[in-house]
């Protein structure tokens, strides 16, 4: 199974360079490419053989005005630049939205022109923006590599609730327009799509309709909205497996935003998974106000999940056998749980540890049988759940609270072993 890293922060670039031998490709968000055009383009171009795709991020056009503007009420620079590349009227349409307003499917301008410009962005931006005067300082930092085209061109897409949703119809129409554009170009690039929906809305009829409508596409990326693996219900696991299995019958299927649970759908035919470094294992359409930087946390391989450093400290002191044996952890931990605090001083090693473990998971899962995966999940729950759920939670706002346990592992096992047609 391939691992494609999606980067969203400037510091990701340096980390990705260090981890390049452990990943298979990149996912470049179009608004970041538009905003950090020189540095991002040179960075992508600096790799000689790093496959990539550019996420057109057109779902952002569905957001309400409040989510698209800065504190001054002006359109965010990254979104504005991206929109200007896509269509001359888009920035104006978004800027003039009333409070609480958002674009409707019928508001999207000239579809043919939109797709032509998005095709141009994805096939020419990296080459053009990596050779400008502004790019020279980044060439000194990252080096100059061979300019390559993306693996495939991603059609504009939008989140939909059902196949009767007008946004579904628009996404399908744009996908077919982009497919025709790709077929007419000398680059001979294939087109691909991102299906952005919630597992809550999946049923047999919806899955069958999607599979029928997209049967001519060889590259399909599935984004399950807010698919939080720690809380997902068993029924949604089963429906997600059904969707991936049906699509994999005729297409190369990848997942955008996912963790170990979705990686297990390699059994159904999944070929790749994408996420960030320590973040973006699930992502929601709904934007939560506030936030900040990504908290430093440690991936516990046996639990297939992250825990804060303070929680990990208590867990490893109770269960030293859970100390990871990857090269990074051997160097930092040396078998001593007291040394977990050293990761706080070298957070880049948390990322190196996670990607090293994720690489190992991706390699192993391709040859692991379904029954073995289910048994391992249930065994981990049986051995550790009671102990972990009785440990005090040092991150809790309310004193006396305990850590959450490993209930999710049993839900995963139930969903994975369920027979699907």
**What pLDDT is stored for residue 294 in this prediction?**
60
Give per-residue pLDDT as tens, 92-151: 999 999 988 999 999 998 999 999 999 999 998 887 766 677 767 767 777 766 667 899
Task: Kindly tell me the burial class for residue 69, based on how many C-beta atoms sit within 10 Å of its own C-beta (0-12, 13-18, 19 or more).
Answer: middle
Q: What pLDDT band is residue 334 in, cutting at 50, 70 and 90? A: very high
Q: What pLDDT, in 10s, does the model give residues 341-353?
A: 999 999 999 999 9
* Relative orientation angle of helices 10-18 and 347-365, to the nearest 10 degrees: 60
Residue spans of alpha helices (H) in 62-154:
77-86, 90-95, 111-129, 136-142
> What pLDDT shows up at residue 146?
62
Q: Is 168 exposed, middle or buried (0-12, 13-18, 19+ CB in 10 A)?
A: buried
CB 257 within 8 A of CB 231: no
Q: Concatenated DSSP letters for 351-414? A: HHHHHHHHHHHHHHHTT--HHHHHHHHHHHHHHHHHHHHTSB-TT-SSTTPBPP-SHHHHHHHH
CA 193, distance to chain mean position in Å, is 14
SS3 content of the chain, % helix, strand, coil (to 5): 50, 15, 35
The pLDDT, as a whole number, for residue 290 is 45
Cα distances (angstroms) measured from residue 44 to each of 95, 156, 221, 353, 361: 31, 21, 21, 23, 26
Average pLDDT over residues 2-7: 92
Count how many Cα atoms sit within 13 Å of the Cα of residue 185 in the half-sphere of its side chain.
Answer: 19
Q: Is the pLDDT at 370 greater than 60, yes or no?
A: yes
More confident residue, 17 or 155: 155
Provide mean pLDDT across the span 36-64. Answer: 89
Domain boundaries, the chain: 2-275, 297-417
Partners of residue 192 on adjacent β-strands? 154
pLDDT at 325 > cutoff 70: yes
State the pLDDT at residue 36. 84
Q: 2-275: which CATH topology? A: TIM Barrel (3.20.20)
Residues 6+ apart with CB under 8 A from 149: 123, 187, 189
Predicted pLDDT of residue 145: 63
């Amino acid at each position: 199974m391939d691992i494609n890293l999606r980067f969203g922060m400037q510091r990701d670039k340096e980390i990705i360079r260090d981890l390049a031998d452990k990943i298979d490709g990149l996912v470049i968000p179009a608004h970041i490419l538009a905003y950090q055009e020189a540095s991002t383009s040179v960075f992508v171009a600096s790799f000689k053989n790093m496959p990539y795709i550019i996420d057109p991020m057109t779902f952002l056009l569905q957001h309400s005005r409040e989510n698209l503007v800065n504190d001054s009420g002006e359109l965010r620079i990254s979104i504005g630049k991206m929109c200007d590349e896509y269509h001359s009227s888009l920035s104006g349409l978004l800027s003039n939205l009333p409070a609480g307003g958002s674009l409707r499917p019928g508001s999207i301008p000239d579809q043919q022109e939109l797709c032509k410009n998005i095709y141009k962005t994805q096939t020419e931006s990296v080459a053009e923006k990596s050779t400008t005067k502004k790019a020279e300082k980044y060439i000194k930092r990252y080096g100059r590599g061979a300019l390559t085209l993306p693996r495939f061109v991603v059609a504009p897409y939008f989140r939909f609730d059902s196949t009767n949703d007008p946004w579904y119809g628009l996404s399908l129409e744009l996908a077919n327009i982009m497919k025709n554009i790709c077929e007419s170009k000398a680059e001979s690039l294939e087109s691909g799509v991102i299906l952005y929906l919630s597992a809550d809305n999946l049923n047999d009829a919806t899955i069958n309709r999607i599979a029928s409508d997209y049967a001519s596409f060889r590259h399909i990326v599935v984004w399950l909205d807010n698919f939080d693996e720690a809380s997902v219900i068993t029924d949604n696991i089963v429906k997600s497996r059904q969707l991936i299995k049906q699509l994999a019958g005729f297409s190369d299927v990848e997942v955008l935003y996912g963790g170990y649970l979705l990686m297990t759908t390699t059994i159904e035919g999944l070929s790749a998974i994408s996420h960030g470094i320590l973040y973006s294992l699930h992502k929601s359409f709904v934007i939560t106000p506030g936030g900040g930087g990504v908290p430093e946390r440690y991936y516990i391989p046996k639990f297939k999940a992250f825990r804060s450093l303070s929680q990990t400290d208590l867990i490893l002191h109770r269960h030293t056998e859970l100390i990871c044996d990857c090269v990074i952890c051997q160097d930092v931990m040396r078998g001593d749980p007291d040394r977990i605090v050293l990761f706080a001083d070298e957070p880049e090693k948390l990322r190196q540890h996670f990607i090293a473990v994720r690489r190992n998971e991706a390699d192993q899962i391709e040859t692991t049988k379904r029954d073995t995966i289910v048994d391992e999940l249930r065994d981990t729950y049986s051995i550790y759940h009671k102990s972990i759920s009785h440990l005090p939670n040092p991150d809790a706002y309310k004193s006396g609270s305990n850590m959450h346990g490993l209930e999710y592992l049993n839900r995963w096992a139930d969903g994975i072993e369920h027979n699907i047609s």
